[in-house]
């Protein structure tokens, strides 16, 4: 029963974000006249499905970890170098439905539409939360500075109002911990208001082993302050659609930027690799979050959607970003890469993806105590 508490929310989440991703590909493919034979959620044996009026098979498969859109005449969405041989197999009408016969910009948009749809989903989720539930705009005032802490040593004082952390504007008391822990610099720049004056201070946080709100082990950055609302007054307001989309876009960009900075740190050998996780860790966190209600579940769905969109834009063959990389070569060279060259790239991409899967799976197993 406990497994179902994790598995069901995870399957709902992954189905939603994968469906939106693949629908992005599907929508632009249909828009540009590309034939779509299959729209699959999951891999392996088909469990159930149906055919629509255009002949597309919509189906759910046995392994629900991903999905794909299959185009007429193609196995994948990358450039086909042997186009002449491919075209001989089809008559004039069918050739117009082939993905590879479409202009380069259309192929690029079809491929990019999947990740783009994931970012749009995240923005819509955040916007709906801000419209129907509200967004917190409580100013963050320092209530206490712990003696001999990094904040104490570097000059933060009680009653300072925090304006910015690491060049991120603090709109809410809830932003403080997020911005501190999202910073990738050794020292974090604080801008505070004190006696009607703005003061900037650079603080090097301590890193301690701690638990997150769900009870999972994490490495947390602390500077030694406690924050509280100004005059103990909370300010949460429901936003109009335009303002909600504005703040939702800012939140989506912040998550994207922070993720990229974290990945850059990993390549530099400075990142916290213990924070990487795969399907098991995602399922665990999703199940934990789902127990806190619909709002928490929608929020984690938005974060996972952003991650899926971002990862798929990496220039790794087999991912959407890899296909876009091939199209960039095609634009520069004036022709698609040769099939053998593409195959070499795909072998490299396969190695990278399997290495990442192995590493994240190891972290997952370690996280649940098997190592």
User: Per 3-state DSSP, what percentage of the chain is helix, strand, and coil (rounded to 5)?
Assistant: 50, 20, 25
How distant is the alpha carbon of residue 235 from its chain centre?
Answer: 29
Half-sphere exposure of 256 (CA within 13 A, CB side): 22
The kind and range of the H/E element at 267 are helix 241-267
Unique residue bearing structure tokens 């301690």: 208
* The dihedral sign for the CA sequence 116, 121, 126, 132: positive
Q: Among residues 223, 144, 244, which one has the least CA distance to residue 176?
A: 223
Q: Which of 305, 157, 127, 124 is nearest to 223 (CA)?
A: 157
Phi, psi of 271 (to 5 degrees): -80, 160
DSSP-assigned letters across all residues of 121-169: HHHHHHHHHHHHT-EE---EEEEEE-TTSHHHHTT--TTPEEEEETTEE
- Known active-site residue 251: no
Best CA proximity match to 182, nearest among 117, 272, 243, 116:
272
**Catalytic-role residue among 22, 85, 233, 343:** 22
In angstroms, rounded to a whole number, what is the distance separating the alpha carbons of residues 280 and 291? 17
Distance between CA 194 and CA 196 in Å, rounded?
5
3 state SS of 6: helix
Question: 128-133 long-range CB contacts below 8 Å, 24 or more apart?
Answer: 128/244, 128/298, 129/295, 129/298, 129/299, 130/238, 130/239, 130/243, 130/244, 130/247, 130/248, 131/238, 131/239, 131/240, 131/241, 131/244, 132/238, 133/238, 133/295
Active site residues: 22
């Amino acid at each position: 029963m406990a497994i179902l508490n994790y598995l069901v929310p995870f399957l709902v989440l992954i189905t939603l974000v994968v469906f939106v991703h693949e629908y992005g590909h599907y929508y632009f493919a249909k828009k540009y006249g590309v034939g779509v034979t299959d729209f699959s959620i999951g891999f392996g044996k088909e469990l159930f499905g149906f055919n629509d009026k255009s002949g597309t098979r919509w189906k759910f498969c046995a392994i629900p970890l991903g999905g794909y859109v299959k185009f007429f005449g193609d196995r994948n969405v990358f450039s086909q170098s042997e186009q002449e041989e491919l075209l001989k197999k089809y008559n004039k009408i069918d050739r117009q439905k082939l993905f590879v016969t479409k202009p380069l910009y259309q192929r690029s948009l079809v491929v990019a539409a999947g990740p783009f749809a994931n970012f749009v989903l995240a923005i819509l989720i955040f916007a709906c939360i801000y419209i129907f539930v509200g967004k917190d705009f409580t100013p963050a005032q320092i209530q206490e500075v712990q003696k001999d802490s990094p904040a104490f040593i570097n000059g933060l004082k009680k009653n300072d109002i925090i304006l910015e952390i690491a060049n991120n504007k603090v709109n809410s008391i809830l932003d403080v911990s997020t911005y501190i822990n999202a910073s990738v610099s050794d020292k974090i720049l604080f801008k505070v208001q004190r006696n009607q004056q703005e003061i900037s201070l650079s603080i090097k946080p301590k890193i301690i082993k701690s638990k997150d709100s769900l009870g999972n082990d994490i490495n947390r950055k602390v500077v030694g302050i406690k924050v509280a609302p100004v005059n103990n007054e909370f300010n949460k307001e429901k936003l109009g659609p335009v303002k909600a989309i504005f703040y939702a876009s800012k939140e989506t960009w912040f998550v994207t930027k922070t993720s990229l900075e974290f990945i850059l740190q990993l390549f530099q050998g400075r990142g916290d690799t213990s924070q990487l996780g795969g399907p098991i860790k995602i399922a665990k966190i999703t199940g934990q979050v789902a127990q806190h209600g619909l709002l928490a579940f929608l929020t984690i769905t938005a974060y996972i959607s952003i991650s899926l969109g971002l990862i798929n834009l990496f220039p790794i063959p087999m991912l959407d970003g890899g296909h876009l990389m091939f199209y960039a070569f095609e634009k520069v060279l004036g022709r698609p890469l040769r099939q053998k060259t593409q195959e070499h790239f795909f072998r490299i991409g396969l190695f990278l993806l399997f290495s990442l899967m192995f590493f994240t799976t190891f972290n997952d197993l370690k996280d649940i105590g098997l190592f």
